[in-house]
Chain A
Amino acid sequence: MSARKPLLEVEHLVMRFGGLVAVADLSLTAYQREITAIIGPNGAGKTTVFNCLTGFYKPTSGRLSLHHPDAIYLLEQMEGFRIASQAGVARTFQNIRLFPGMTALENLIVAQHNRLMRASGFSVAGLLGLPVYRNAERAAVDKARHWLQRVGLEERADWEAGNLPYGAQRRLEIARAMCTDPILLCLDEPAAGLNPRESAELNALLLSIRDEAGIGIMLIEHDMSVVMGISDHVIVLDYGRKIADGTPDEVRRDPNVIKAYLGEEETEELPPEVAADIPELRE
C-alpha cells in the first residue's frame, strides 16, 4: 500500500452536555481509501463523535480538519448542512432516516438537491423547462439508477421507501449518502438488524465503495464480523476516551479493550458458554 494520506484529523475533541462529558479529549485520524471502524461499549460516545463530525452537535472544543486535495475544511466551524454540501461528509443514521413517503428513486434525487438546484437556476430555468435543467435531471436519474443497481434496488425504484424491507432500507440509505458525492462516508451501525447474508453483502458493498469511489469510510458497528472483516483500522472508545487504535488484529489483542468489554478481574467468572465465544479466552 502506498503512503497513507490522512483524510480526517480529529484533535482534542471535547463534547460536554452540562456536567456530562460525552467525549473527552479525543484525537484520531482517518485515512483516505480506508475503512475506519469506531467501536466501544454502549454509551462510549461513538454516535456523539459522529454528530460532532456531521454538524448535528457543536463541539465544546477541539479541531476537526477534513483534507480535500485542494483545501482543508474545519468542520467545527461550519453550519450543519454545509458540512454535507461543501465539505462532502455524508452520513447514515442508527435508526434509519429515509423519506418514507417518497419513492426510492426520489430519495436518491433529493440527495442531489444542491447540484440540481443550481442547474434549475433556483427554479427559474426549471419552471421554463430549459435544456440546462433537463440535462441535469437526466444525469441525476442516471446516477440514481447506478446506485440503485449497486444496492440491488433498481426493480423497486418506484416503491415508497417506507414500504421496502428493512435490509433494503439500510442499503438505500447508503446509496442516498453516496449520491451526495461525499469524500467521507460516516455509517452509524449499518449492519444493525441485518441477517448474516445481508451483512456479508453489506461488507462487499462497503469494500467496493472504498476501492472504486476512493473515499474514506468511517463506521460505528457492534457486529464484530463486519468490523473485523472489512476495517483497515479500528478505534476503540470507552467513556468518551480512546483506549485503543490500530489494525483489527492489534485491537483484538489489546488488554485495555478486553478490559473495557469484559470488565476487570471478572474474566474467570464468565459462564463457559460466553467465554467460548471470545477468542482471547479460548487458549
Chain B
Amino acid sequence: MAAIAETATSRLQLGPIFRDAVLAALVALVLSGPIMGLQTADASGGQGLVLNFRPAWVLWTVGVVFVGRLLLGFWWAHRAGRAVETPRALKALGAFLARIETPLGYAGVGFAIALPFLWFADRYVIDVATTVLIYVMLGWGLNVVVGLAGLLDLGYVAFYAVGAYSFALLAHHFQFTFWEALPLAGAFAAFFGIVLGFPVLRLRGDYLAIVTLGFGEIIRIVLINWWHVTGGPNGISNIPRPSFFGMPFQRNAPEGVTTFHQFFGLEFSPEHRIIFLYFVILALALITNLFTLRLRRLPIGRAWEALREDEIACRALGINPTNTKLSAFAIGAMLGGFAGAFFATRQGFISPESFTFIESAIILAIVVLGGMGSQTGVVLAALVLVTLPEFGRQFAEFRMLLFGAAMVAIMVWRPRGLLAYREPSIRLHRKGSGA
C-alpha cells in the first residue's frame, strides 16, 4: 500500500505492481490447476471415469489474472490518494428512485393488480410473479428485524419453515383449511421468534448473526430427523389448496360443494387457481407493507430504530431493551410464518430442502441490496434477484457468480443499499419548507 501511495507523487513504480501481478498469477495457477486443469469424463465403453487434462484452460486463467491484476495495479496507482467514489450514474439513480418512491409505489401496486389480465401474462409469468411476491413479503418481514431493529438475522428461513410446517401439519392431522391455519402459522412462528430471541438478547452484530445462522440450521435438521412428525426428508405432501370463500378450484367437486368455476359460470381452467394464489400473496404482501409502515410510525417502531442506533442510550431513556428486541423478533417471525403458510399451500408439498441457508441468504441480500429500511428498495431487489436467474437460465452455471459480483458492486459503491434514504417517521416542519 505504501508503494502505491508513493506513486501518486513520484514517478510510476513498475516493480511493486509487477510483483503483485506475478503473485496473483501464482495464486491463480495453484487454484485453477486442479479445478480447471483436470476434468473427469465418462470414458466410452463403460470403463468408468477418466481424467482429461486441460492445460490450455489453466494457461488462459493464469494469463487473464496476470493481465487483469497488472491493469488493476496501474489503475490504483493512477488514482492513488483519491477516495472510492460512487459512480455518478449510480448515485443519480439512487437519488432519482428516492424522489419518485411514492408514485413508483402506487404505480407498482396498480401494475401488480393488473398483471394477471395483461396480454403477456401466461402461467409462467404469474408463477414467477408469485415467487417474487413471496420474497417481497419475506423481505419486508425481515426488514423489521434487520432494517429497523438492526439485529442481523441469518436464520430467517427458520420462521418461514415453521409457518409452512405449522400449516401442513395442522391440515394433515386436524383438517385445517388454509384460512383457518394462517393466523396459527403466524402465531407459531412468532412464538419461535421469541424462543430464539431470549438466548440472543445480549448479542449484537457478528455474534448475533452466527447464533441466528445456527438456529436456522437447527430447525432444518430437526425437520429432517424428526421423521415421524415431519415426514423427514420426504416432507409432507397433499397440502390442501386455498379455497375462494369455501369454493374449491377443482374440475369436479365432491357432493354438495360448489366449485369456483361453477359459481361464476366459467369454463374450468387450472389458471384460475394460479391467478387466485397470485392475488392472495399480493394481498398478504400489501398488508405486510401497510402493517410495517404503520409500526414504524408508532412508539414501538421508533424504539426499534433507537435500539439500532444506540442501545445504551435507550436504556438511559427507560426503554426496556428486552421487550423491544423480542417484539421485533416476534413480529418479523410472524410475517415470515404467514409467508411460509402461503408457500406450503401454493406448492402443495414441502420438505426441508426448501428451507436451506441459501434462502436466508437471498432474503437478507434482498433487504441489504434494496437499502435497509426501504420498502421500495426491497421490491426492486426482490424483482432483480428472483427474475435475473430466470432470464439467465442459459448461463445457469454463472448465476452465483453474477449474484456475487452484483453484491460486491453494491457494497463498494452504495454500502447502505440502493435506496439508502431514510424518511423521518414524523416531522415538525413541512417537507421542503426550507427550515
A contact residues vs B (CB 8 Å cutoff)? 54-56, 80-86, 90-91, 93, 97-103, 105-106, 109-111, 113-114, 116-117, 120, 122-123, 126-127, 133, 137, 141, 144-145, 148, 154-158, 176-177, 180
- CA distance in complex: A64, B118 (Å): 71
In contact, B302 and A109 (Cβ under 8 angstroms) = yes
In contact, B318 and A113 (Cβ under 8 angstroms) = yes
Binds A, one of B198-206, B293-301, B352-360, B396-404: B293-301
Contact partners of B305 in chain A: CB under 8 A: 99, 101-102, 106, 110
In contact, B316 and A141 (Cβ under 8 angstroms) = no
Which residues, 37 to 68 on B, are CB-close (under 8 Å) to A? none
- CA distance in complex: A176, B298 (Å): 18
Contact partners of A126 in chain B: CB under 8 A: 294, 298-300
CB < 8 Å: which of B313, B425, B435 contacts A93?
B313
Q: Is B219 an interface residue (CB 8 A)?
A: no
In contact, A114 and B424 (Cβ under 8 angstroms) = no
In contact, A84 and B428 (Cβ under 8 angstroms) = no
Q: How far is the CB of A118 from chain B (nearest CB, A)?
A: 9
In contact, A106 and B425 (Cβ under 8 angstroms) = yes
**Which 6 A-B pairs rank lowest in CB-CB distance, beginning with the nearest?**
A85-B318, A84-B318, A99-B309, A157-B428, A116-B299, A97-B313
- Known A81-B318, A85-B318, A157-B429; judge A106-B299 contact (CB<8 A): no
- CA distance in complex: A106, B429 (Å): 13
In addition to A117-B299, A127-B294, 15 A-B residue pairs with Cβ atoms within 8 Å of each other are: A82-B318, A97-B312, A98-B310, A99-B309, A102-B424, A103-B424, A106-B426, A110-B303, A110-B306, A123-B295, A141-B428, A157-B428, A158-B424, A158-B435, A180-B317
Q: Is B232 an interface residue (CB 8 A)?
A: no
Q: Is B82 an interface residue (CB 8 A)?
A: no
In contact, B426 and A109 (Cβ under 8 angstroms) = yes
Contact partners of A101 in chain B: CB under 8 A: 305, 308-309, 422
Q: How far is the CB of B148 from chain A (nearest CB, A)?
A: 11
By CB atoms of chain A within 10 A, which of B305, B314, B316, B424 has the most?
Answer: B316
Q: Mark B302-334, 1 if CB is under 8 A from A, else 0.
A: 110110111011111111110000000000000
B contact residues vs A (CB 8 Å cutoff)? 291, 294-295, 298-300, 302-303, 305-306, 308-310, 312-321, 422, 424-429, 435
In contact, B428 and A158 (Cβ under 8 angstroms) = yes
- Known A97-B313, A101-B309, A158-B429; judge A110-B319 contact (CB<8 A): yes
Contact partners of A157 in chain B: CB under 8 A: 427-429, 435
A-B contact pairs, 22 of them (CB 8 A): A54-B316, A81-B319, A81-B320, A85-B320, A91-B316, A100-B309, A101-B305, A101-B308, A101-B309, A113-B299, A114-B319, A120-B299, A137-B426, A141-B428, A155-B435, A156-B435, A157-B428, A157-B435, A158-B427, A158-B428, A158-B429, A180-B318
CB < 8 Å: which of A102, A109, A111, A122 contacts B309?
A102
**Secondary structure of the B side of the interface?**
helix
In contact, B428 and A154 (Cβ under 8 angstroms) = yes
Contact partners of A120 in chain B: CB under 8 A: 298-300
- CA distance in complex: A223, B422 (Å): 38
Contact partners of B317 in chain A: CB under 8 A: 84, 90, 110-111, 113, 176-177, 180
CB < 8 Å: which of B319, B427, B435 contacts A113?
B319
In contact, B429 and A97 (Cβ under 8 angstroms) = no
Name the residue of chain B whose CB is nearest to the CB of A103: B424
In contact, A105 and B428 (Cβ under 8 angstroms) = yes
Q: How far is the CB of B377 from chain A (nearest CB, A)?
A: 16
In contact, A127 and B302 (Cβ under 8 angstroms) = no
In contact, B310 and A97 (Cβ under 8 angstroms) = yes
- Known A102-B309, A105-B426, A148-B428; judge A84-B315 contact (CB<8 A): yes
- Known A127-B295, A156-B435; judge A97-B316 contact (CB<8 A): yes
In contact, B310 and A114 (Cβ under 8 angstroms) = no
Name the residue of chain B whose CB is nearest to the CB of A157: B428
Contact partners of A54 in chain B: CB under 8 A: 316
Contact partners of A158 in chain B: CB under 8 A: 424, 427-429, 435
- Known A120-B298, A127-B294; judge A81-B315 contact (CB<8 A): yes
In contact, A99 and B313 (Cβ under 8 angstroms) = yes
Contact partners of A80 in chain B: CB under 8 A: 315
- Known A54-B316, A82-B318, A180-B317; judge A99-B299 contact (CB<8 A): no
